[in-house]
Amino acid sequence: MVSAHPDDKRGDADDLVGAVIGERYRVSALVGRGGMGSVYRATDESLGRDVALKILRSIPGDEAAVRREAAEVAVLASLNHRSLVTLFDASEFVVEGHPRTCLVMEYVDGPTLGERIHSGAVPGADVRVMIADLAEALSVVHAKGVVHRDIKPANILLGASQLPGQEFSARLADFGIAYLVDSTRLTEAGALIGTAAYLSPEQATGAEPTAAADIYSLGLVVLETLTRKREFDGTMIESVSARLSRDPVVPSWLGEEWAAILSSMTSRDASQRPTALQIVIAARDLPEPGSIDSQATVQHEVLAPTAVLAETTAVPTRVLPQATQPTERLEPAVRPSASSDPVKARRMPSTRARIVGAVIAVAVVAAGIFGVVAAMNPAAPVDSDTAPVLPAVDGDLGTHLQQLFDEAGK
């Protein structure tokens, strides 16, 4: 749910396992930790349900930290949507002898989207539902004047779906660094807030984040879910520099509709990105996206007809210059049509070519023999009775051979 923080000491955090917070929440496991606190799985002993207990980090004398805590509580309490993690309670409890702000939230029993991507390909139908649900949740968030600023696979929790044929339902979590639009900014001007691999171009330059920044990050998350490849990987400098110089690569095998919506969501020009509500509407008409496994199939389907077309059109071109009278009489029986089997269309011209070739070859040989005989005795008149006698050939071929000898004797 949250990433590791170098200042945390895992041993100290694990000491809370088994403790009862606020005389109500019994801690059972450490789920994760981040720059603003640690998250535990706990049991609400009053209601008998599992909850996520987020204990915010407290820094004595840090007034900005106090304001951030109050802001997070206010944000979570004001939001309500099935694709947002629900806040049940927010109180100040004594933890290990120190007062700490604790958020009691819905516990989502399932992996993060990042863990799910790592385990294998995510079904396209589930991705289609996910983009619609998360965009709808962001529409609610943005309407409240809130920008999440840290949308990434680790902040998207996947609970088991109750619907047949759907693997999971996605929930957006961790508003710890949410930015309240039109409120006093709680971070230093120009500071990078968020996770480097998913920052929008404007966030990368330190500009004030707007709702469009969340749309960009969501586009990168969905693209990674479909391709199982992080688009802007590497160090922070490499990752940030890359998004300022190019747009993400959206593979064509995803389909035209998916390529269009993801390209618009990840436009470097924030004004060209759709709103969350526009994405919800567009997602209703999205087909199931292509898969990584379908890439080779798509290429085969594109290339195969082209290869067949080139092969079927080349054969008649080679045969036509050799056309003779016998070929014209054979043509009606073997002429390929547009509806013919491409394989048959290739075979029939080849048969015709062999027949025509045989006629020409025999004629050339016969003419050659006659030429040799004439050269041996150029003064001798050609007489039909003394002319070389060749084996009898029946049919049209014999007729053509006889015409050749007759012409030579004139």
- The pLDDT value recorded for residue 49 is 95
Question: Model confidence at 398, in pLDDT bands (50, 70, 90)?
Answer: low
Which residue type occupies 59?
I
Question: Which is the catalytic residue, given 44, 126, 150, 214?
Answer: 150
What mean pLDDT do residues 260-280 have? 96
d(CA 13, CA 18): 11
Question: Model confidence at 240, in pLDDT bands (50, 70, 90)?
Answer: confident
- The pLDDT value recorded for residue 179 is 66
Question: Model confidence at 233, in pLDDT bands (50, 70, 90)?
Answer: confident
Q: What is the CATH number that goes with domain 10-106?
A: 3.30.200.20
Which residue type occupies 193?
I
d(CA 107, CA 31): 10
pLDDT digits (tens, 9 = 90+) for 76-132: 788 889 999 998 988 888 888 888 888 899 999 999 999 999 999 999 999 999 999
**Every domain of the chain and the residues it spans:** 10-106, 113-292, 321-409
Q: In the 8-state DSSP scheme, what is residue 270? A: G
Q: In the 8-state DSSP scheme, what is residue 110? A: S
Segment among 134-138, 192-196, 271-275, 389-393 with least mean pLDDT: 389-393
Is residue 57 pLDDT above 90, yes or no?
A: no
Task: Decide: 391 and 362 in contact? Cβ < 8 Å.
Answer: no
What kind of fold does domain 113-292 have according to CATH? Answer: Transferase(Phosphotransferase); domain 1 (1.10.510)
Report the mean per-residue pLDDT for the chain: 74
- The pLDDT value recorded for residue 397 is 59
pLDDT over 70 for what percent of the chain?
A: 60
The pTM for the full model equals 0.65
Tokens of 338: 């547009």
150 is catalytic: yes
Question: What's the burial of 96, exposed, middle or buried (CB within 10 Å: 0-12/13-18/19+)?
Answer: exposed
Q: Contacts for 380-385 with beta carbons within 8 Å, 24 or more apart?
A: 382/408, 382/409, 383/409, 384/409
d(CA 4, CA 33): 5
Residue position matching structure tokens 């919800």: 280
Is residue 352 pLDDT above 50, yes or no?
A: no
Q: How many residues does the chain have?
A: 410
d(CA 200, CA 149): 9
The DSSP line for 172-187 is E---TT-EETTS---S
What mean pLDDT do residues 281-301 have? 68
- The larger pLDDT score, comparing residue 408 to residue 17, is at 17
Segment among 153-167, 189-203, 377-391 with least mean pLDDT: 377-391
Angle made by CA atoms 124, 128, 129, in degrees to the nearest 5:
120
- The larger pLDDT score, comparing residue 394 to residue 332, is at 394
d(CA 367, CA 380): 18
Task: Decide: 206 and 193 in contact? Cβ < 8 Å.
Answer: no
